[in-house]
Amino acid sequence: MTGNLPSLVEEGAVPSALAPMQNVTDHAFMHVIAEMGPPDYFFTEYFSVHSTTSLDGETLRSITENQTGRPVYAQVLGNDAKALADAGVKLEDYPIAGVDLNLGCPAPKIYRRNAGGGLLRDAKIVDEIIGEMRERIQGTFSVKCRLGFEDDEPFDACLEAVDRHQVDFLTIHGRTVKQMYRGDVDYSSMAKAVRLLKCPVFANGNLTSAAVAVSVIRDTGCHGAMIGRGAIRNPWIFRQIREKSLGMKVFEPKLQDVREYIERLNQAKYDPGVGDRYRVAHLKRYLVFIGEGVDPEGKFLHEIRRVKDEAEMFRVCDRHLMDNGCGERLFSDEPFPGVVARPNKE
């Protein structure tokens, strides 16, 4: 089953998608990922929707300036069924592949206003929103959800709403909202959804490498893999999934490739109106995840958290990624145990 997904995926390959991550997966990052080996589908950062808001212009750039060669879905977040449907209708005037409803964002500032994952506390509102959006949106309409808020009790009701209203595909992050990104992912919930739903299901959560992603897809019966943090760390993961699932030789990046990736990020994010210190602070959103795979001791991650400007940033990069022949070392396929990209609190 492919629902209304564009049929651009090579036969036999596991379909892949870049997960929407706020303040991370903007149009610049999408184009860097596309240069390294694009996923089959992109998703925008969420459009925050209220009854009085208009579509965010910066997020629209991911649609209007999409030169990745891949379809892009527009994700919306809110709690007003009519406003969300109105936004979906407006977005269909743009060159999108479809509209995606966010029922999974675990950020406290989001769920406290009963949006994103916070909606999973009220099955009636979830059903109302999905029903209203499905009725109004003419093209592809999809949903991304978690298992529930504090536990997985709301999951069955969410699946029932998705099925009853004929959603085109569902992406499941196999944790609750309160788990955020901690603890094990319940992949069995995805297998259950595959059995119960008529639409395709995408797996999301802790798909840390091509090997893990392909294994999860085969074990659960899911249609494809959506990857977020793993793609920040390893932008070649979508290429690797394609190669792995087709039985091809899988690309193995070296640390010198990682250095080039960071240079591309730096160039893509350059804005003459933004100060060096602020831009480097923003780049750390990506660099701390990259650091999970550079060295098992976490020395690169420790130093990169503390850099203040571009020159210092690249001195650290060169020392760990290029100098003394280390550029020829392989970048780790999986994050090193104990090397964790926690936010910089300095």
E strand spans, 34-92: 41-43, 47-48, 72-77
Q: Same structural domain for residues 116 and 233?
A: yes
Of all residues in the chain, the percent with pLDDT exceeding 90 is 92
% of the chain residues with pLDDT over 70: 97
Taking only the tens place, the pLDDT of each residue in 129-178 is 999 999 999 999 999 999 999 999 999 999 999 999 999 999 999 999 99
- 156 shares a domain with 27: yes
C-alpha–C-alpha distance, residues 225 and 245, integer Å: 12
pLDDT value for 345: 32
pTM to 2 decimal places = 0.94
Residues 309 and 229 in one domain: no
pLDDT score of 105 more than 50: yes
Q: pLDDT tens digit string along 321-333?
A: 999 999 999 999 9
CB pairs under 8 A, 24+ apart, for 87-93?
87/47, 87/49, 87/55, 88/133, 88/136, 88/137, 88/141, 89/136, 89/137, 90/55, 91/47, 91/55, 91/63, 92/137, 92/138, 92/139
One domain for residues 235 and 260: no
Asked if residue 170 and residue 98 are part of one domain, the reply reads: yes
264 closest CA partner among 68, 29, 37: 29
Whether residues 204 and 155 share a domain: the answer is yes
For residues 261 and 213, state if they share a domain.
Answer: no
DSSP, collapsed to helix, strand or coil, labels residue 161 as helix
Same domain, 137 and 175: yes
Report the sign of the C-alpha dihedral through residues 341, 108, 146, 82, in that order.
negative
Cα distances from 198 to residues 11, 124, 165, in angstroms, run: 21, 22, 11
Is the residue at 266 inside a domain? yes
Structure tokens at 75: 């994700």
Instruction: Collapse the DSSP code of 325 into the 3-class scheme (helix H, G, I; strand E, B; otherwise coil) and give the result.
Output: helix
Which ranges of 254-335 would DSSP assign to H, the alpha helix? 255-268, 276-290, 299-304, 310-321
pLDDT tens for residues 184-195?
999 999 999 999
Do residue 207 and residue 305 come from a single domain? no
Domain count, the chain: 2
Mention every residue, 6+ apart, whose C-beta is less than 8 A from residue 102: 20, 46, 75, 76, 77, 115, 116, 144
- Note the pLDDT of residue 53: 84
Per-residue pLDDT, averaged over 270-288, amounts to 92
Residues 189 and 299 in one domain: no
- What residue numbers bound the domain in which 274 lies? 255-328
Structural domain contains residue 337: no
